[in-house]
Amino acid sequence: MQYKSFFLSLVCLGAVVQAQAELKVIGDFGGESAVRFYEALQPDESMVQAYPNSVPSTLTEADILPVISHRMTPGQIQPVRMNLPGMLPIFLIGTDNLSKNWLHANYNYLKKIGAMGLVV
């Protein structure tokens, strides 16, 4: 019985040694862009449906700013806390005096929490 246990231990030890074999590098492209590997996965432009209200593939800051809203008005709102790990806090302000005063009064706190603001 001891002989079988010893033999089984020896086999297991051999398996562990084999499992720790040196890794073999099968490809090293020296920091080369991986884009060429994904080009074959891109859809054929002729097969993509056109949606008239879709967002253009290239946007610049000038395309999206300033944000204009005809339904928002200046006023007080209740803050809403959300548990969204990894997301930065955001706030919306207008160009009116109430918004400017609020931003001035809350500037240090907003900077401390890393909030991102959007002027509408």
Span between the terminal Cα atoms of the chain, in Å: 82
Eight-state DSSP code of residue 117 = E
Residue 67: which of 12, 13, 119 has the closest Cα?
A: 119
Total Cβ atoms within 10 A of residue 92: 13
Could you read off the pLDDT of 23-74 as tens digits, one per residue? 777 777 677 777 776 776 666 666 566 666 666 677 787 877 777 778 888 8
How much is the average pLDDT of 6-15?
66
Confidence at residue 58, expressed as pLDDT on a 0 to 100 scale = 79
Could you read off the pLDDT of 71-84 as tens digits, one per residue? 888 888 888 888 88
Distance, in Å, from the CA atom of 118 to the CA atom of 120, rounded to the nearest integer, reads 6
**C-alpha dihedral, 49 to 50 to 53 to 57, nearest 10°:** 100
| Integer CA distances (angstroms), 17 to 5, 21, 26, in order | 18, 7, 22
Residue 101, pLDDT above cutoff 90: yes
pTM attached to this predicted model: 0.43
